A and B are shown apart, each in its own frame.
Chain A
Amino acid sequence: MRWTLLAALSVLALVLSVVLGPAAVPLGELLHSDIVWNLRAPRALLAFLVGGSLGVAGASLQALVRNPLADPFLLGLSGGAGLGAVVAIALHLSGPWSLPIAAFIGALAALGLVYRLGLIGGASLDPRILLLGGVAIGAFAAAITTAIVSLADAAELRNAFLWLWGGLSGASWDSVLLVALYAPIPLAVLLAASRPLDLLALGEESASYLGADVERVKRRVYLAASLLTAAAVAVSGVIGFVGLVVPHIARLTWGHRHRSLLPAAFLGGGALLAFADTLARTVVAPRELPVGVVTALIGVPVFAMLLRRWTIA
């Protein structure tokens, strides 16, 4: 029942984002329209893949850092990606892929630094330090980003600022294909770790007594979830709250077993972002809102409700 509902919701979100848009395309011509085939369809699919990736990355990282309110972007990746993108904009790098590649490199750099910080206490990866290190690295990157933005001219500034709030307007079949080829690898790694992730909820010592190879699981999950987030941020900028709110709602409905939680978070995240992107494209048409604005406007109130629920329980 709940799976049927979620599948129906996913299909609905995809259909809506293909049907709706600033340009009126009659329903009868939907399948023959260039706008639909070249713009809306790849954009809907990219939104779904990115949202799903953020949902799964968020759910896994929450189990890893033992904090049900963690967001994939808490770990510094957004700061690194933002810095990479702004550097690319400031250097006037051209070509359709320069921005995503620069953002991806920035995210990887942040990932590497945070990972190194997580190992600062010795051979064991400390999730608490990952979280603190992520916040610190993110703040540091944001400071440099702001310094660069403050020196940029007005047009560049607007581009950089909009990029930081996320958007899927760069979607193309190429980017869909790229994500569709890339994302399944970290997704499979995380799905394979779903039982050890269940065990980690008991703490590292208990998890190891129940058969989990704790160090290996922590490293794999951190790297896979971060690589997934890095790809998402590279193609679509920083889209907050999908990776926080979706796993949370999925936990309320599917419980805490990651074997069903992770697939549910993927479909839920995909549906939410496809839906949010449809809103972002249509509410102020012909202009467009950054989709991160929409997810934050939806996500923050939901988050506040969840926070209240969590602290009362």
Chain B
Amino acid sequence: MTTELLRLHDVRYRYPGATEDALRGVSLSVAPRQFHAVLGPNGSGKTTLVRIALGGLTPLTGRADVIDRPASDWPRQDLARLVGVVPQREDNLFPQRVRETVLLGRYPHLSLWGRERAEDHDAVDHALAACDVAHLADRWLWTLSGGEYQRVRVARALAQEPKLLVLDEPGMSLDLKHEMGLFELVLGLVQAQGLGVLMITHDLNLAARFADSLLLLEGGRTVASGAPTEVLTQQTVETVFSWPVAMQTIDGRPQMIPLRQPKESGA
């Protein structure tokens, strides 16, 4: 398989000054048309994994390749043409309108002194339409709802015309409708445009509903990886999250329901 967009092999990483490894031998690959979700409790290494995948950190051992080259070797501008990222949070120093924000996604395609070309404005229009925010194009960012704002940020990443889309906790602080809407949007992009997606999320159920493959991390180690039915078993979930759960199946995907904990076992 040489067509993989992202390939992490047996990655180990330890932050400078830390006494323990943040990642211990994690492997992962994302191909075109693949929706891959990374799950795990807080501090399990999800964010470290993303930083390594995007070349922000270099693994101590193992490899992290984007296409055919170590992620940290890519010039940032070249990488930004292949990988679009929706970071967990960012704050905009200056007030900005939706169209201007999405246009920032074209920057990796522009030459040093050149102006934006017609194709850049076309790409912005397509991205706005794909994320269903074209009608918001002239609004100020600060007037948007949380769900609209997340869709605009996905549109900005799409304007990069990437092959791989990386999203870090995109559903945080969204209500049901907007969270489902966002996942439907991302899945639609995978199916319609053939994007590969790597998504970090807390939400086991949504990940199981939408993703083709899951990676479950705990303490920097891989607990399970593969199709949702293989990864999200009652025993695995209870062990990793230290809480009793019941499992059900909807649309052929496992869904987890947390149970009340009996009082005598303590908190």
Contacts and interface: CB of A to CB of B under 8 A. Distances in A.
Contacts of A212: 76-77, 107
A203 B90 contact: yes
Interface string B75-88: 11101110111010
A221 B195 CA distance: 36
Given A199-B104, A199-B107, A210-B160, A205 B90 contact: yes
Contacts of A205: 56, 87, 90
Given A66-B93, A251-B94, A206 B87 contact: yes
Contacts of A257: 100
Contacts of B176: none
For chain B, the bracket of interface size reads: 20 to 34
A201 interface: yes
A210 B107 CA distance: 7
Contact of A211 (B79, B96, B156): B79
Interface string B87-110: 100111111100010001101101
B112 interface: yes
* Residue of A205, A214, A256 ringed by the most chain B CB atoms within 10 A: A205
Given A192-B112, A199-B104, A202-B104, A208 B56 contact: yes
B154 interface: no
A38 to B, nearest CB: 38
Interface string A178-221: 00000000000000100100110111011011111110000000
Q: Is the interface of A mostly helix, strand, loop or mixed?
A: loop
Contacts of B79: 211
Interface string A102-137: 000000000000000000000000000000000000
A201 B92 contact: yes
Interface string B155-174: 01000100000000000000
Interface in A34-86: 63, 66, 68
A210 B91 CA distance: 15
Chain B CB count within 10 A is highest, among A192, A210, A214, for A210
A256 B94 contact: yes
B76 A213 contact: yes
A33 to B, nearest CB: 41
Given A210-B80, A211-B76, A211-B80, A201 B108 contact: no
B207 to A, nearest CB: 22
Given A211-B79, A211-B80, A213-B77, A68 B94 contact: yes
Interface residues of A, number: 24
Given A208-B56, A209-B54, A212-B76, A195 B107 contact: yes
Contacts of A66: 93
Contacts of B96: 256
A190 to B, nearest CB: 13
Contacts of B76: 208, 211-214
Nearest to B51: A205
A97 B190 CA distance: 66
Contacts of B113: 192
A313 interface: yes
Contacts of A201: 92-94
B107 A198 contact: yes
B79 to A, nearest CB: 7
Interface string A228-261: 0000000000000000000000010001110000
Nearest to B156: A210
A205 B110 CA distance: 20
B137 to A, nearest CB: 15
Interface of A: 63, 66, 68, 192, 195, 198-199, 201-203, 205-206, 208-214, 251, 255-257, 313
Interface of B: 54, 56, 75-77, 79-81, 83-85, 87, 90-96, 100, 104-105, 107-108, 110, 112-113, 156, 160
Given A201-B94, A206-B90, A208-B76, 16 more contacts: A63-B93, A66-B93, A68-B93, A68-B94, A201-B93, A202-B92, A203-B90, A203-B91, A205-B56, A206-B85, A210-B80, A210-B107, A210-B156, A213-B75, A213-B76, A257-B100
28 contacts: A66-B93, A68-B94, A192-B112, A195-B110, A198-B104, A198-B107, A199-B104, A201-B94, A202-B91, A202-B104, A203-B91, A205-B87, A205-B90, A208-B76, A209-B83, A209-B85, A209-B87, A210-B160, A211-B76, A211-B77, A211-B80, A211-B107, A211-B108, A212-B77, A213-B76, A214-B76, A251-B94, A255-B100
